[in-house]
């Protein structure tokens, strides 16, 4: 049985896949009362405008396979709350599926014997309202490959052509983090669409961020050269030119951003190596200031 924690864009995408492929799943929906979670239904509009109205059965103990789809800054609290209500088996498989990095050691310390796997997705969706999710793009679901493949997770991957096990997920996660560090804070602070970053004024700023990001990349993931990172960043900027980044939307809606697990994580790693990244640091502080003004 798969238990999906959180039912925003990513959680809903997984629930919809399980529903349409008859895979057993249940859910833990944060921030709603027990009575609500008994009868929750998800309205999911897929990329072809087909509407699905699916029932979200509440999780029952013991949890064996947990897909955590809440935002990085909610992960610790979500697990602590869950542990008050449910049992998670000692050697459960826990999949972390969120933007940013830096939660794995938190989860491992709360669940010392669990097999904690990182994952990432390029599926695009947004929640129009709570439990009303619109899919806007088909992408991939990439899961860390190690000995911890439970039957339920194996079934999920086998049933999903866009899902795969990745022996080298760390490189993929670092690349995604570097892309998010280059795009998200600037588009949030200036409240612009991603495509505006190709304008000369912003390109200089992106390149200054990348020069610093490269200092960290050389230490943590040397196969990601500055050229590869720059190419990947501008590819994403061009492919998502008309989109607003997730951090842009968070600031526009006065929500907490994922800055601590994006630029904040980069700065933490840099500090471990006594590196200073003043350009990234300045954007980090600007986003924190914006959040403080809500
Ligand atoms: O992941 C993204 C985000 O918005 O968080 C990017 C790749 C920047 C696309 O907007």
Name the nearest CA neighbour of 116 among 88, 140, 82: 88
Q: Reply yes or no on whether the pLDDT at 36 is more than 80.
A: no
**Atom 10 of ligand 1, nearest CA residue:** 245
Query: What residue ranges do the domains of the chain occupy?
Result: 2-166, 169-292
Question: What's the 60 CA to ligand 1 centre distance in angstroms?
Answer: 34
Question: What's the 63 CA to ligand 1 centre distance in angstroms?
Answer: 31
Question: What's the 234 CA to ligand 1 centre distance in angstroms?
Answer: 12
How remote is the C-alpha of 134 from its chain's centroid? 17
Whether residue 120 has its Cβ less than 6 Å from ligand 1: no
Q: What is the pLDDT of residues 4-30, one digit of tens each?
A: 999 999 999 999 999 999 999 999 986
Question: 134 by DSSP, 3-state: which?
Answer: strand
Q: What is the pLDDT of residues 79-104, one digit of tens each?
A: 999 999 899 999 999 999 999 999 99
Whether residue 248 has its Cβ less than 6 Å from ligand 1: no
Whether residue 236 has its Cβ less than 6 Å from ligand 1: yes
147 φ, ψ (degrees, to nearest 5): -75, 0
* Domain topology for 2-166: Rossmann fold (3.40.50)
For 21-47, give one letter per residue: b (16+ CB within 10 A) or e. Answer: eebebbbbbbeeeeeebeebebebbbe
* Domain topology for 169-292: 1.10.1040
Q: Is 176 a catalytic residue?
A: yes
Q: Reply yes or no on whether the pLDDT at 40 is more than 90.
A: no
Q: Which of 104, 176, 207, 239 is catalytic?
A: 176
**Atom 5 of ligand 1, nearest CA residue:** 246
R_g of the chain computed on alpha carbons? 19
Instruction: Return mean pLDDT, the chain.
Output: 94
Bridge partners of 143, per DSSP, are: 119, 165
Whether residue 257 has its Cβ less than 6 Å from ligand 1: no
Give mean pLDDT, residues 187-201.
98
Name the nearest CA neighbour of 44 among 19, 75, 73, 74: 19
Question: What's the 99 CA to ligand 1 centre distance in angstroms?
Answer: 9
Neighbours of 119 (CB within 10 A): 23
Fold matches, 2-166 and 169-292: no
Q: What is the pLDDT of residues 116-173, one digit of tens each?
A: 999 999 999 999 999 999 999 999 999 999 776 789 999 999 999 999 999 999 999 9
Model pLDDT, residue 148: 63
pTM of the model: 0.94
Give mean pLDDT, residues 44-65.
95
Question: What is the DSSP track for 80-98?
Answer: HHHHHH--EEEEEEEEEE-
Model pLDDT, residue 289: 98
Residue 147 in contact with residue 57, Cβ under 8 Å? no
Name the nearest CA neighbour of 124 among 113, 110, 114, 139: 139
Q: How confident is the model at residue 35 (pLDDT cuts 50, 70, 90)?
A: very low
């Amino acid at each position: 049985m798969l238990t999906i924690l959180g039912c925003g864009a990513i959680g809903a995408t997984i629930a919809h896949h399980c529903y349409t492929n008859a895979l057993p799943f249940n859910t833990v929906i944060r921030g709603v009362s027990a009575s609500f979670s008994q009868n929750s239904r998800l309205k999911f509009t897929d990329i072809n405008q087909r509407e699905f109205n699916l029932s979200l059965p509440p999780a029952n103990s013991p949890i064996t396979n947990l897909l955590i789809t809440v935002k990085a800054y909610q992960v610790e609290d979500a697990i602590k709350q869950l542990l008050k209500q449910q049992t998670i088996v000692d050697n459960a498989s826990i999949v972390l599926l969120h933007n940013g990095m830096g939660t794995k050691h938190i989860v491992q310390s709360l669940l010392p014997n669990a097999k904690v796997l990182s994952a990432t997705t390029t599926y695009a969706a947004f929640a129009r309202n709570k439990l009303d999710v619109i899919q806007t793009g088909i992408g991939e679901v990439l899961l860390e490959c190690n000995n911890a493949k439970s039957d339920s997770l194996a079934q999920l991957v086998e049933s999903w052509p866009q899902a795969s096990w990745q022996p080298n997920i760390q490189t993929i996660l670092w690349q995604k983090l570097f892309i998010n560090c280059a795009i998200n804070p600037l588009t949030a602070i200036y409240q612009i669409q991603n495509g505006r970053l190709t304008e000369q004024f912003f390109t200089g700023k992106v390149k200054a961020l990348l020069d610093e990001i490269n200092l960290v990349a050389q230490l943590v993931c040397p196969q990601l050269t500055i050229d590869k990172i720059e190419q990947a960043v501008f590819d994403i900027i061009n492919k998502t030119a008309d989109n607003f980044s997730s951090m842009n939307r968070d600031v526009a809606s006065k929500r907490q951003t994922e800055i601590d697990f994006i630029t904040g994580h980069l700065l933490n790693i840099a500090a471990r190596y006594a590196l200073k990244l003043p350009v990234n640091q300045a954007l980090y502080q600007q986003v924190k200031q914006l959040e403080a003004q809500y």
